[in-house]
A = this chain, B = another copy of it.
Amino acid sequence: MTETDSERAGSGRQPVHHSPDSGLSPGSGLLDLRRVGAHPDFWYPVALSRKVRTGRAVATAFAGERIALYRTESGTVHALEDRCAHRQVPLSMGVVEGETLRCCYHAWAYRGDGRISQIPYLSKGDGRPPRGVRGYPVREAYGLVFVFPGDPEKAALTALPELPAFGSPAYKTMSFSRTVHCHYSFMHENLLDMNHQFLHRGVVGKLHPQLLDSRTQARSVEASYLFKHVGGKRNRGAELLATEGTGRRGSADVLTIRTDYPYQTLDLVPQNAERPAFRLWAAYVPEDAEQRTCHAYGLLMIAKPRVPGALHLAWPLIRRFTERVFAEDRMAVEAEQRAWEEQGEDRNHEVFPLILDVRKVLRANGVPLVPSGGTARCGSAPGA
C-alpha cells in the first residue's frame, strides 16, 4: 500500500485543502460519511472473552450480521451466523454439546465451521437439508474475542492489532465494553479533536489543548497535543490516571491520538516522564446494518506505580473517572447521531483540518452502505 505522507506541524497546516464542509454538504457528490460502513476485512472484537463461558453460547453482531459465539467443552470459541439454517431461530439460544452447537428448537447440530453435523429425525425420504450456516474466523487475544467478518481468505493474512503494553509487567489493563448509539465515525472524531475537553470540564478542570503536530497517511491520522491545566479542579481519578505510574506531577501532558484504521489509540505522556502514564486502545464495532449504533471495546493500559498495591487502591477512582468521561462523550456523540437522523444528512460544518483528514481516511477505507430497510446487508460477506 502506498501511503501519502503529508506531515505538517500545527502551524504549517494547509487549509487550502480543507473547505469547511468538503464533501459533506448535499450535492457534493461525495458519500455522506455516516453512510460509510466499517470495512469488514479486519479483525473486530465482538465480545469480552470472559463473557463467553465454557459450554455457553452468546449473541453478538457485526453491522447487522447476527453472530452466535460459543465456547466448546475444550475451550475453543467458534463464531457462526446466528440463524439456524432450518427455521432461522438464533443459534445463540442453543445448547453446546462437546464441540458442537445444537439449535434449541428442533435440535439440529452444527460444527464450529458452520456445517451441520446432525439432524436427529431426518429420514431418507425427507427433503435434502441445507449444508449449514456461515462460520467466521475467530481469534482470542487481549481478553477479547475477535472475528473476521469479511472475506475469510483474507483473515490469515490480516494481523490482529499489536498491543505491546497489554502483556507488559509495567502496565495493568482495564477493559470497557459498551453500546453507543452512533455511527463509529463520531467516536473517531470525538477523540481526535481534543478541543472537546470543554465537555469534560467538570472532571478535568480547565484545559488548554494546543495542537503540536499531526500526520495524515492513507490509513491513519495522528495528532499530538500539549495539554496545559489552566484552572478549575481536576478530579482525583483523572489525577491518578495521568500520574500514578510515572510519579510525575506537572501541569502539562502530551497526548497522542491516532486513528489507525479501523482502530484508535491514545497515549498520555506526562511532562518529563519517559513512558506513557496510560495507553488506550479502542475499536468501535458497528452493531446494526445501518451502522447507527456501535459497540465500543476499550483497553486502558495503565502504568503501574513503583509502590506495590497503589494502583489497586486507585483502581476504583480511575474507573469512576473514565466512566464519567465516557458518559459525557456518549451524550455528545449520541446527540450528533440523533441530529443526523433528524436532518437526514450530515450538516456538520467542520473547521478543524485534522478532523477533515480523519473523515477522508474513514471514507476512503470504508465501504458504502446500501440504503435499505431492515434487510440491509453490507460489506463483502460471502456465504459459508
Judge whether A104 and B344 touch: CB under 8 Å: no
CB distance from A77 to the nearest CB of B (A): 23
Interface residues of A in 63-108 (CB under 8 A from B): 66, 83, 85-90, 93, 102, 104-107
User: Does A340 make an interface contact (CB < 8 A)?
Assistant: yes
Question: Is there an interface contact between B344 and A373, defined as CB atoms closer than 8 Å?
Answer: yes
**Given A104-B198, A107-B195, do A335 and B90 touch, yes or no (CB 8 Å)?**
yes
Q: Which residues of B contact A88 (CB under 8 A)?
A: 335-336, 339-340, 343, 347-348
Q: Verify if A351 is at the interface (C-beta below 8 Å from B).
A: yes
Number of chain A residues close to chain B: CB under 8 A? 61
Partner of A348, one of B87, B107, B332, B352: B87
Interface of chain A: mostly helix, strand, loop or mixed: loop
The reply on A153 being an interface residue by CB < 8 A is no
Contact of A86 among B86, B129, B350 (CB under 8 A): B350
Task: Determine if A127 and B18 form an interchain contact, defined as CB atoms under 8 angstroms apart.
Answer: yes
A353 contacts chain B at the CB level, 8 A cutoff: yes
In the assembly, what is the distance between CA of A331 and CA of B104, in Å? 10
* Nearest-CB residue, chain B, relative to A128: B20
Minimum CB–CB distance from A223 to chain B (whole Å) comes to 13
A19 located at the interface, meaning its Cβ lies under 8 Å from any Cβ of chain B in the complex: yes
Asked if B349 and A129 sit within 8 Å, CB to CB, the answer is yes
Q: How far is A134 from B255 in the complex, measured between Cα atoms in Å?
A: 36
